[in-house]
Amino acid sequence: MAATERILASARKQIAEQGILGLRVADVAEGAYSSVTQIYRYFGDRNGLLARVLGDLYQEFLEQSLQSVADRLDGLDVVTIDDIVDALPSPTHDWMRINSGMRLQILATAVTNEELRNRVSLLAQEHLRRWNAYIEDVSSRLKQGEALDSRVFTIMLVMQMAYYRHLLGDDGFSDAEYRQFLKDKLRA
């Protein structure tokens, strides 16, 4: 493994264990059999290291989110609105809470880390283009008589933060209510 890869792997491990705030470059260096000086040479500073590691993580989240939907719809020649909604993740699932908690921390870091913000911004724009292309593909396979309002993806879902649902606890909407809402609103 190259030095930069060892550093990135060590930084990920540190973030998983200590959180983003607790990341110390000296600990990353130790876990990578590297030095603080070498890390600064590759990534500029702590912010540069965070921009790279958190940007990579964010990219993986976005790719997984599209892939998990595609995996469930790709086998179908004819797709219904119900199929699409059933393929979307539930905001109340445990892994959504963990995943959205991490996304929240990455975005919050991006507010004050310009390098990370630029990377995340480009990723979000690329992600939107890929979703648009995917929605077009799915629309071409829609069951006769059904039509899709793509704005539910490009306006509503693109701004959705599942962590809010987690904060509402038992007072929040149920998965069934969420899916019914999406089905009603997705129908054009």
When the beta carbons of 41 and 151 are compared against a copy of itself, the nearer one is 151
How far is 64 from 15, CA to CA, in rounded Å?
A: 20
Minimum CB distance to a copy of itself, residue 137 (Å): 19
Phi first, then psi: give them for residue 93, nearest 5 degrees. Answer: -65, 150
Q: Cα–Cα distances in Å, from 60 out to 7, 54, 55, 97, 133?
A: 18, 10, 9, 16, 19
| Number of residues forming the site for a copy of itself (CB under 8 A) | 43
Q: Cα–Cα distances in Å, from 108 out to 80, 95, 104, 105, 147?
A: 37, 20, 6, 5, 37
Per-residue x/- track, 87-106, a copy of itself (CB under 8 A) = ----x---------x--xx-
CA nearest to 82, candidates 152, 175, 162, 186: 186
Please report, as residue ranges, which positions from 120 to 159 form the binding site for a copy of itself (by CB under 8 A).
Answer: 120-121, 124-125, 128-129, 149, 151, 154-156, 158-159
Is 168 a residue that touches a copy of itself (CB under 8 A)? Answer: yes
Maximum C-alpha span of the chain: 63
Is 75 a residue that touches a copy of itself (CB under 8 A)? Answer: no
| Side-chain-side CA neighbours of residue 77 (13 Å) | 0
User: Which tokens go with 55?
Assistant: 């940007």
Span interacting with a copy of itself, options 34-42, 78-86, 137-145, 166-174, rule CB under 8 A = 166-174
Please report, as residue ranges, which positions from 35 to 54 form the binding site for a copy of itself (by CB under 8 A).
Answer: none
Give the residue carrying structure tokens 């793509």.
Answer: 150
Please report, as residue ranges, which positions from 1 to 40 form the binding site for a copy of itself (by CB under 8 A).
Answer: 19, 21
Minimum CB distance to a copy of itself, residue 100 (Å): 9
Interface contacts to a copy of itself, rule CB under 8 A: 19, 21, 91, 101, 104-105, 107-112, 117, 120-121, 124-125, 128-129, 149, 151, 154-156, 158-165, 167-169, 171-173, 177-178, 181, 184-185
